[in-house]
Structure 1
């Protein structure tokens, strides 16, 4: 019998340089999605759609992109970080997620050269470049028989000058990336180099997204028309006879959306991507920033939790999805597993926690009629004198403890994980200050935001318990979701924007 030769496992460390496309998450390639599902760490650019992070819930996400003229990482620092993350812990799978295509003015060559110099193996996963996608979404073919046999892609951030443009006088279509801020200089230099001021031209902002806008003009008038329209970055500029085809071929006409242009900050923990809520808000037209407020670390003593649960036959209370995940991880760290709960009765604080329990093969014995610690404490089918063991973080839940104590039920807290405040970057603080609305999806998140950034925000909150915690922390401008769901929280964001 001949031996079967199995393919060699991909070596670790390993870096995947992945193109995320121009904006629409549906334009991500199948290979890119596959790579994201395998990642340990994702280093993402600022303009990457947050919906893409739903493909990598297992990964730690680090934002390294540049936003306008805010303080941001230097390219050399990003190169070093890619290598460091790949080599950490004996080797990790790192995805460098970049807008468009990483090799089209994405500095992907510099990042892969850094990997090669460090001996870190890598791959390139091309993406749909905005150089052609933005034009296509505006109904402009970069080549067209009888109009354009060639096109060139240029960066608009460099000062090329008339002499440089004269060298490409024979190219029919010019596509400028990242150049909307310098349009007056670019158009003047092109005219000085011999381009006819009447040459058709167009600028496309936020191509392929619900925020897409296109300004069609001539080379001589484009800068003024774009300024009058308030067109800003990110935008792609097309100069050439083909730009006139936009008038007949414009096909992508996103309807006005309820949150068009609104800036929303989605607060979350580092372990959560927040992408489902971010995707819902982006789909309604919002510009979304995700702000990590907390990070979770393992329990200080896994054996303490295992000891508390061993033989326990009372109620085990779980008040978050994180608590469910941490329970299983802490028990495994102590050499035990979920069979330790065989005699216990399990209560979940709401439908989300109950769903996570079922994913781990556990059906909750009780879920209150309304989500929240207050309702769990009031409705738990336990008699006075019974013990309720709350599995969660190092912090006692005062609402739950009070509700149970009022009924004579003993509350005991058991640590399955520890939560710590995240340190926000200057860019994240800027995003918070610019946000019209922030979202609060948990009481602990409300308290964390108050500690790290204050309470001077208009906030949409997911439920009464979160609202109570937010008011106790000092927030005053609160909009409560009608139901404890992400869709209802998105509705609350809309109401907050209208009220603000």
Structure 2
């Protein structure tokens, strides 16, 4: 299990990490020499790359994720046209992209949008779709618990999701009194083939960032568990961190923010760099 982030546990993890560092498992770096691998799909690493560059860190990009249409993608435009739902729940940047495609196909119907976090909301806002609800914490459980009822509505939610998404949001919405229609509108899969020179560059990274469980699995399948364990892993949130735990990456070498998002992710990368630095 991923351990909670109490002060005493953090001290314990740092002590264990230092022991592993002295054994040579982790390279000791300065902040300017630390290299960070970005593994989100092509075109989705820009914000993280920009933030890391401002911190003086070197970025390497190796997209480990690919998206394809899910089995129910073709049903989404008609569902949006039906006006049968109080809310449409969007829980990731890719889900926002898929929604916008279907929304345009449907003739841009008037729908009420709820988003899991600000990053997802930004994609919709850029297309002129303004979310009416944003969860206070970017998790499905919090979003489902917080989503308000629409006066005079029928307490229904349309949830266009990844086929691999957990049922956290559905469960929380159900507990909140909603009837949920989930549509698996896209699939997420790991990249299998990587050019040798690209992989060689990726292996120079000291820190590997993960934005999804699929990226975690793809990385371990690509480089093997022993190599994966020799880098610090920094996840966007607890879901990806649990995936690290599931594949055998040590809790002591996995970091993630309490609230998923780019800002917290950057902070945790800085923490990882600090761990790698020589202490006085």
Structure 1 and Structure 2 fold alike (TM over 0.5): yes
Aligned partner of residue 40 in structure 2, secondary structure: strand
Q: Which protein is richer in helix relative to its size?
A: 2
Match of 2:120 in 1: 353
| Residue 260 of structure 1 pairs with residue 32 of structure 2 | yes
- Correspondence for 1:403: 172
1:72-105: CA deviation from partner (whole Å, max 9, x where unpaired): xxxxxxxxxxxxxxxxxxxxxxxxxxxxxxxxxx
Cα separation, 2, equivalents of 1:401 and 1:428: 39
SS in 2 for 1:279: helix
- Choose the corresponding residue for 1:378, options 145, 149, 159: 145
With normalisation by structure 2, the TM-score equals: 0.72
2:132 counterpart of 1:365: yes
Distance in 1 between the 2:176 and 2:93 partners?
Answer: 26
Tell me if the contact between 2:141 and 2:168 (Cα under 8 Å) persists in the aligned partners.
Answer: yes
Between the aligned partners of 1:444 and 1:420, the Cα distance in structure 2 is 6
SS class of match (1:261):
coil
- Out of 315, 327, 330, the position equivalent to 2:87 is 315
- Is 2:190–2:217's contact at 8 Å kept on the other side of the alignment? no
2-structure distance, mates of 1:446, 1:400: 22
1:390 matched residue in structure 2: 159
Structure 1 contact 294–419 (Cα < 8 Å) conserved = yes
TM (norm. structure 1) is: 0.43
Shift in alpha-carbon separation, 1:430–1:313, aligned structure 2, 3 A: same
Task: Return the match for 2:190 from 421, 429, 450.
Answer: 421
| TM-fit CA distance, 1:374 | 2.0
Deviation (angstroms), 1:437: 0.8
Give me the whole-angstrom Cα distance separating, in 2, the residues matched to 1:345 and 1:437: 39
* Maintained 8 Å contact 1:318/1:324: yes
Taking the TM superposition and a 5 Å limit, the aligned residue runs for 1:68-79 are: none
Q: In 2, distance between residues paired with 1:416 and 1:399? A: 17
1:287 to 58, 63, 78: 58
Measured in 2, the distance between the counterparts of 1:266 and 1:356 equals: 20
Q: Secondary structure at the match of 1:438?
A: strand
| Distance in structure 2 (CA, Å) of the matches to 1:397 and 1:452 | 24
Q: Which has the higher contact order (CA 8 A, sep 6+)?
A: 2
Question: How far did residue 479 of structure 1 move?
Answer: 1.6
User: May I ask how many residue pairs the two structures share in their alignment?
Assistant: 237
CA distance in 2, matches of 1:397, 1:387: 19
- Give a deviation string over 1:233-252, Cα, whole Å, max 9, x none: xxxxxxxxxxxxxxxxxxxx
1:449 to 206, 215, 219: 219
CA contact (8 A) 1:378 1:404 kept: yes
Q: Which residue is equivalent to 1:16?
A: none
Unaligned runs of 5+ in 1: 1-256
Residues 331 and 450 (structure 1), Cα distance of their counterparts in 2 relative to 1, 3 Å cut = farther
Q: Provide the aligned C-alpha RMSD in A.
A: 2.9
Aligned partner of residue 370 in structure 1, secondary structure: coil
Where 1:347 maps in the other structure, the secondary structure is strand
Q: Residue deviations 1:187-215, cap 9 Å, x none?
A: xxxxxxxxxxxxxxxxxxxxxxxxxxxxx
Q: Please, which of 265, 271, 279 is the counterpart of residue 489 of structure 1?
A: 265
Q: Secondary structure at the match of 2:39?
A: strand
Given the alignment of the two structures, is residue 269 of structure 1 paired with residue 36 of structure 2, yes or no? no
Would the aligned equivalents of 1:319 and 1:348 in 2 still touch at CA under 8 Å? yes
1:265 and 1:431 in contact (8 A); partners too: no
Query: Do residues 464 (structure 1) and 238 (structure 2) align?
Result: yes
1-structure distance, mates of 2:103, 2:159: 15
Mapped to 2, the partners of 1:295 and 1:411 lie a distance apart of: 27
Aligned-partner Cα distance in 2 for 1:418–1:465: 17
Cα deviation, residue 292, structure 1: 0.4
2:77 corresponds to: 306
CA deviations on 1:219-260 (whole Å, 9 max, x unpaired) are: xxxxxxxxxxxxxxxxxxxxxxxxxxxxxxxxxxxxxx9621
| Structure exhibiting the larger radius of gyration computed from Cα positions | 1
Residue 326 of structure 1 is matched in structure 2 by 98
1:403–1:431 CA distance, 2 compared to 1 (3 A)? farther
On the 8 A contact 1:258/1:494 being kept in 2, the answer is no
